[in-house]
């Protein structure tokens, strides 16, 4: 089967297993009352999540813009139009909450404004040089990462077991919603004529650029802590990410799935994890 035929089949398959997208207008009291090393006192791990948070407000605005530019391709598909609307509503709320989060990191003395400015410049450059469909492909590729990180977070409660409860709730909420809307950008990308070779190349480039930025952010944050050249601090973070509780290995194994020509985000079943998270919300 040609990849083009496969892409068309995938596009028609998307509705089969679409998780429902619920827009929750959650707000998290992030501020000075939360300890700086909120992740069980582990400085390098707290900085890792702070690092990811810096990307979100501007990154999620980029995602919304790239999807909205293709609303017309699903004009006669009410379910997809609704999915785009709910995707944007969820990402808008994520951005708002991460803005407050990032402000608290900035107020604690980290160079968040400079880091955000560099993310903004990078995305402005991407918008200037890439065709619109490739921008949407980049969104779908980066959404694969947010969904996989979320999947691993939902799957391993020990990742946030001794984190500050407010931070744990924020990250689990974001993890869950990323999995609810994980297929939207991908489906719109296919509807816009996206294809396998293009999305494979985009993923390779997006992965290199994104993770290079993550490493740069981590170094900038750890420098403020005086940990940049601390083998102990780096070992603590690597141990957390790869061994106890780990999750990075699983994330990269699932990342590879993208390169199957027949891949669809809903092939990675997050349904039971989402159900468990929703049930826990009702109890609390």
As a whole number of angstroms, the distance between CA 199 and CA 175 comes to 23
What length does the chain have?
284
Distance of CA 138 to the CA centre of its chain: 12
Contact 73, 192 (CB under 8 A): yes
Q: Which stretch binds Fe ion (CB under 5 A): 5-13, 112-120, 140-148, 254-262?
A: 140-148
144 lines the binding site for Fe ion (CB under 5 A): no
Residue closest to Fe ion (Cβ): 94
| Footprint of Fe ion on 175-194 (CB under 5 A) | 178
43 lines the binding site for Fe ion (CB under 5 A): no
Q: Which stretch binds Fe ion (CB under 5 A): 32-40, 72-80, 121-129, 170-178?
A: 170-178
> Residue 262 corresponds to which tokens in the numbers above?
């027949």
Q: How far is the CB of 61 from Fe ion (least distance, A)?
A: 11
Q: How far is the CB of 142 from Fe ion (least distance, A)?
A: 8
Q: Which stretch binds Fe ion (CB under 5 A): 84-92, 97-105, 199-207, 240-248?
A: 84-92
Contact 58, 123 (CB under 8 A): yes
- DSSP for 253-269 reads HHHHGGGSTT--GGGS-
Q: Which stretch binds Fe ion (CB under 5 A): 104-112, 119-127, 145-153, 154-162?
A: 145-153
94 lines the binding site for Fe ion (CB under 5 A): yes
Q: How far is the CB of 174 from Fe ion (least distance, A)?
A: 6
Contact 59, 119 (CB under 8 A): yes
As a whole number of angstroms, the distance between CA 224 and CA 203 comes to 32
Q: In this complex, which beta carbon is closest to Fe ion, that of residue 64 or of residue 112?
A: 64
Closest Cα partner for 66 from 148, 130, 150?
A: 130
| Footprint of Fe ion on 234-273 (CB under 5 A) | none
Task: Provide the binding-site residues for Fe ion, judged by CB under 5 A.
Answer: 91, 94, 146, 178
């Amino acid at each position: 089967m040609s990849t083009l035929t496969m892409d068309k089949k995938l596009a028609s398959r998307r509705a089969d297993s679409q998780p429902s997208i619920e827009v929750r207008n959650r707000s998290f009291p992030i501020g000075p009352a939360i300890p700086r090393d909120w992740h069980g006192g582990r400085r390098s791990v707290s900085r890792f999540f702070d690092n990811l948070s810096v990307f979100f407000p501007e990154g999620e605005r980029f995602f919304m813009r790239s999807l909205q530019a293709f609303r017309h391709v699903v004009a006669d598909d009410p379910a997809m139009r609704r999915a785009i609307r709910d995707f944007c509503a969820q990402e808008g709320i994520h951005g708002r909450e991460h803005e407050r989060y990032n402000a608290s990191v900035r107020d604690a003395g980290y160079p968040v404004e400079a880091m955000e400015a560099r993310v903004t410049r990078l995305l402005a450059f991407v918008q200037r040089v890439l065709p619109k469909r490739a921008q949407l492909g980049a969104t779908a590729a980066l959404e694969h990462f947010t969904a996989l990180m979320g999947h691993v977070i939902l799957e391993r409660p020990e990742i946030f077991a001794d984190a500050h409860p407010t931070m744990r709730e924020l990250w689990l909420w974001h993890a869950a919603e990323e999995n609810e809307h994980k297929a939207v950008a991908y489906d719109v990308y296919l509807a816009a004529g996206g294809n396998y070779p293009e999305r494979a190349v985009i993923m390779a480039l997006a992965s290199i650029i994104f993770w290079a930025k993550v490493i740069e952010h981590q170094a900038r944050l750890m420098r403020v802590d005086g940990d940049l050249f601390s083998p102990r601090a780096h070992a603590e973070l690597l141990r957390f990410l790869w061994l106890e509780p780990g999750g990075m290995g699983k994330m990269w194994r699932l990342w590879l799935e993208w390169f199957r020509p027949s891949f669809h985000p809903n092939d990675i079943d997050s349904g039971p994890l989402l159900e468990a998270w929703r049930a826990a919300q009702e109890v609390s």
